[in-house]
Copies of this chain bind each other. A is one copy, B any other.
């Protein structure tokens, strides 16, 4: 039951990666190493062992498709793209994310003013 910052960060990442992967792929076809690079660029570290199962889940849910493409520097790559359903779901997730941000801001902002002076 380790309660440290690293662990909390991991917990916060949950459910966010789904949205971020969809958002990044929405820019255009991408293969996993590209996606990892893009996330790194935004200070969102992702492990291979996280991303591959995630992409498989999204593909099985009909939100992504992929095509194989040969590479000159190694084995062939899976280039992912959004399906129409994926586009819809991405938009819903963005809305959900925005609502969550608002909720957290709301909880945190009211902490400064409220000190509830007790009658005395």
Interface residues of A (CB under 8 A from B): 1, 3, 5, 8-16, 18-20, 23-24, 26-28, 38-39, 42-44, 57-58, 60-61, 63, 89, 92-94, 96-97, 99-104, 106-108, 110-111, 114-116
Instruction: Using A3-B57, A5-B96, A13-B100 as known contacts, list a sample of 4 further A-B pairs with CB atoms less than 8 Å apart, ordered by residue number in A.
Output: A23-B111, A27-B111, A28-B115, A44-B107
CA A3 to CA B61, docked complex, whole Å: 7
Closest chain-B Cβ to A119's Cβ sits at a distance in Å of: 14
Bound CA–CA A14/B11 (angstroms)? 5
Beta-carbon contact of A27 and B61 below 8 Å: no
Q: Is the CB of A107 within 8 A of B24?
A: yes
Known: A10-B15, A14-B15. A104 touches B97 (CB 8 A): yes
B18–A15 touching, CB < 8 Å:
no
| Beta-carbon contact of A18 and B24 below 8 Å | no
List of B residues within 8 angstroms of A28 by Cβ: 114-116
Residues of B within 8 A of A93 (CB): 5, 8
Q: Evaluate contact between B63 and A3: CB separation under 8 angstroms.
A: yes
